Amino acid sequence: MYSVILCLKCLICGLSVSLYAVQLVKLLEQREANHIEFCRIKNVLDEILNMYKNSELSEILKLLMDPTWVATGLKIDFETLVSECEGASYRIGEMISLDGESDQKISSSSVIPSDFFEDMESSWKGRVKRRHIEEEFTDVQRAADALSLAVTEDFLPIIFRIKATTAPLGGPKGEILYAREHEAVWFKGKRFAPSVWAGTPGEEQIKRLKPASDSRGRKVGEEWFTTMNVEDALTRYHEAGAKAKVKVLELLRGLSSELQSKINILVFASMLLVIAKALFAHVSEGRRRKWVFPILAGCNRLKDVKQLNGAYGMKITGPNGGGKSSLLRSICAAALLGICGFMVPAHSALIPQFDSIMLHMKSYDSPADGKSSFQ
């Protein structure tokens, strides 16, 4: 029965590629393909090129051109396929940041929670190569450094003051936190203002604090505070990040526009690769299970088939759960695999060249659960 499962897997795989091809066409036409889609496209193209560079696999690649033509309806010659795959792969690789490139690390600071920078920069860093956004990248880094400096100057002295204060329960509290909902870094504390102002360290920074507010100007809470210096630095950082994000989006959309003219090549290459992988999976599993390639013979009447009312057939009998349905399904699967040129699950096989295969039975049985159609 594994042969049936393998056929279904190949069918599902082909359907998935067909659906992906439709999705890919839509994404490229609407210029909405992201860096992940481009990496997937490049992987497909590179696998085709790797087959081409191998002398043995190259011959297989040529043999799969016609089946791919039948599956896609696209007629593309071998040289054009290779040339277009090379060009598209190079263009994507020249633009998209690939795995293993480590020149776009997320900003970091010893005084600012790391998840703040992660949330702000992960949406655009690592999408395209840094050389295409060097100016924007530098602006964001400078803005991040300025924000870190502002937080250090305005919040850190207050934190040091609180830590240096020894008091029983109910003493001053304060910390620098990332307000995720507001995309901001603020000071959160209570009971930190001195009862008597004596010019001690941290008092000047406490005087600069003001209640933090959201984008609509509403006060966030009684314990959240910021300063003008920190707010200005936050604004500059967000503006730099927004500019970088727009630049990355423009580059990705530009690449989508370039690849629109190569949609047929991309669809053809995807289907060809699916067929190649399906064949490889079939042969690998067949060799592991010691399957064989059948001998295809003419459709001759076998000696042990008796004539029944003018027709030729074979009658199979047996108790419920004896395996009649499973045997018929296995025979049909083996015949279908054999006439398609695949290996069959048998020690040896002689298969007539059928012009049609018909199988009709109830599908209520479940051999894996030990249930027949009548149980």
Span 294-315, mean pLDDT? Answer: 62
Average pLDDT, the chain: 85
pLDDT, residue 137, reads 95
Q: Percent of the chain beyond pLDDT 70?
A: 83
**How far is 224 from 295, CA to CA, in rounded Å?**
81
The CB density around residue 374, as the number of other CB atoms within 10 Å, is 10
Q: pLDDT digits over 221-279, tens only?
A: 899 999 999 999 999 999 999 999 999 999 999 998 899 889 999 999 989 998 998 88
Q: pLDDT digits over 240-252, tens only?
A: 999 999 999 999 9
Q: pLDDT digits over 140-197, tens only?
A: 999 999 999 999 999 999 999 988 876 666 678 899 999 999 999 999 999 898 888 8
CA distances in angstroms from 199 to 196, 206, 229, listed in the order given = 9, 11, 21
Q: pLDDT digits over 54-91, tens only?
A: 999 999 999 999 999 998 899 999 999 999 999 999 99
Amino acid sitting at position 256: S
CB 179 within 8 A of CB 213: no
Q: pTM of the entire structure?
A: 0.76
DSSP per-residue codes, 105-153: PPP--SSS-HHHHHHHHTTTTTSB-GGGSHHHHHHHHHHHHHHHHHHHH
pLDDT, residue 13, reads 47
pLDDT, residue 6, reads 44
pLDDT bin (cut points 50, 70, 90) of residue 332 is confident
Span 286-306, mean pLDDT? Answer: 74
CB 46 within 8 A of CB 269: no
Helical (H) or strand (E) element with 174: strand 173-179
CA distances in angstroms from 288 to 86, 295, 326, 344, listed in the order given = 35, 20, 22, 12
Rounded to the nearest angstrom, the gap between the alpha carbon of residue 334 and the centroid of all alpha carbons in its chain is 35
Q: Residue 335 contacts by C-beta under 8 Å, 6 or more apart in sequence? A: 351, 354, 357
DSSP lists the bridge partners of residue 128 as 96
